[in-house]
Chains A and B, each alone.
Chain A
């Protein structure tokens, strides 16, 4: 609880993440951290907006949650609506077009995060001058790298356009299938640039791997903690970003549950609401809210899967697992390396799909018998995404529940903030911008998408902090 001698440091907004959030750190008179929290200050409300709307509208409506990975919501809602229209299996063309769309978005999203959001921290150092520690600084000092980032993101965005109709907020996936195939011209356009793209993936992998291994001593403990991990995996245990069943493991890699059908997600996951954040706190039902929180996203996926079904990414995964001593990795900063393994995997998958003639098929839509309820899961770039809907006999949505990647990572991000604040800020005589950036670095590792993640409608404290000329808190009010 804040008292007269408590100092409050606010990092607002948290930069180089998607959406708006802030961090508050409470310090006692000796600058010891007494509390550190990540607050999410946006409100989403989509679960309410969607009520009453016809079910076929939902995949296009809900993707407006976000402009970075709208394809995740588009596809996850479409997968749920496939089940609503009674379609358990898509036509090969529809399934592969959707997968191509999904790998295209994973590709662009991971490239955006690595090259534009994170590389300034890795290339210049966590406490480098903020004037150069940004994407413009990267473009000035490492122009080739900056251009690669732009070109890789463009490649992924063009794939989204060819499969969804638009680079952002397309309409491609419809209940039961897809509304277009891939033309020969579109395919050949992508094939032309593919080798160069894969070459850039390999180079990015080298940067991420070398950076992590060279700085392992300092990174291993940076914002790190033991946690459970969650993702979907294919029936044979392979990584599958588009479809699969839930698997959760503990910090040592022991399975907590495995092959849970997406429709039964609510039997293994629960959500908790806390008064100071719009974001809910999900946990594994079996372990309860105290011990049941878990991580999702690239690190969790690499930890959860038994193997990757593309050769270069699998070799990279093996190298990663070897570096962690064949154990489940709980190093927060290892997210970056695993994210780039997935970038390469997405590139390889795009190659595999572009050579598949099913993409030029004309059987786009399957039909079935209407159902009233459906839940679907996919692995968005930032982690596991769950969409759950109920639809009435008049075709209107009556209930929607979305658990998005960043929501799963809510408690882990708070853990990371607490850990970094305790390790790097607590007891320091002077709290510099560089030290505060350490907190943001830990949050950025999760690639959070804050605008997607907020849901709980609760009391959000409005905080005003008055600092004197020396930066000391002289007054603080909270509602």
Chain B
């Protein structure tokens, strides 16, 4: 059995190792596939579907789909870009994302993706869901208005911090991230040093009192679009 797998992304030949996902092989080849729930240090989750690609003509999540010899992957096509744009659009209207005063603005992956996709305003009607805030923890703040249910905090707490502080409850539109306690985050063993607090792609899970410490112009996505760190490899 060969130690390398050869396949194509948008007609470009890419080689990878057996067991790699399409996203891992693409990252290594300097091809950016947008994502929100996927993170290198976390196990794949396949929930946000922003990384949707066409594999041999069928839509698949690039973060979970293993590569195979001769696979034909479409990433940067009109059809795929339109699907991703719709998903991002829907994420914005499904929550309450007020970028204009959010402290994650400039460092937010959802906002950065919207900029990358040229989304100036949502095309779907806002749902304005009623979401709650948990400010009970002395050092951590949960604002569920901004949660996109990516599950990064759930996985990081379980797999890296070894704590299981967060878990999903409810289904469909009622789904939300709950904390492992009778009432609030303050009743859990969560700490500001937990990796779970660092991995949130939006401003849903934040360290308290950091706020706007980084000035405009020095934030992560102020000058370069999201994905450019992969594309320059």
Which A residues form the contact surface with B (CB < 8 A)?
A: 52, 54, 56-57, 60-61, 64, 164-166, 169-172, 174-175, 179-180, 394-396
Contact = CB atoms under 8 A, between A and B. Distances in A.
A259 B125 CA distance: 52
29 contacts: A54-B208, A54-B211, A56-B103, A56-B209, A56-B211, A56-B212, A57-B101, A57-B103, A60-B212, A61-B101, A64-B100, A64-B101, A164-B216, A165-B215, A165-B216, A165-B217, A169-B100, A170-B216, A171-B212, A171-B216, A172-B215, A174-B212, A179-B212, A179-B213, A179-B215, A394-B136, A395-B141, A396-B133, A396-B135
Contacts of A60: 101, 103, 212
Cβ-closest 4 pairs across A and B: A165-B216, A56-B211, A171-B212, A394-B135
A101 to B, nearest CB: 12
Residue among B208, B210, B216 having the largest count of chain A Cβ atoms under 10 Å? B216
Contacts of A165: 215-217
Interface string B129-170: 000010110000100000000000000000000000000000
B42 interface: no
Contacts of B210: 56
B115 to A, nearest CB: 15
B181 interface: no
Main secondary structure of the interface of A (DSSP, over half): loop
Nearest to B222: A165
Contacts of B136: 394
B200 to A, nearest CB: 15
Contacts of A166: 216
A60 B105 CA distance: 11
Nearest to A394: B135
B212 A52 contact: no
Given A60-B101, A395-B141, A174 B135 contact: no
Contacts of B135: 54, 394-396
Contacts of B209: 56, 395
Interface in B177-230: 208-217
Given A174-B211, A394-B136, 7 more contacts: A54-B211, A171-B212, A171-B215, A174-B212, A394-B135, A396-B133, A396-B135
Nearest to A163: B215
B192 to A, nearest CB: 13
Contacts of B211: 54, 56-57, 174-175
A60 B213 CA distance: 12
Residue among B141, B209, B210 having the largest count of chain A Cβ atoms under 10 Å? B209
Residue among B210, B213, B214 having the largest count of chain A Cβ atoms under 10 Å? B213
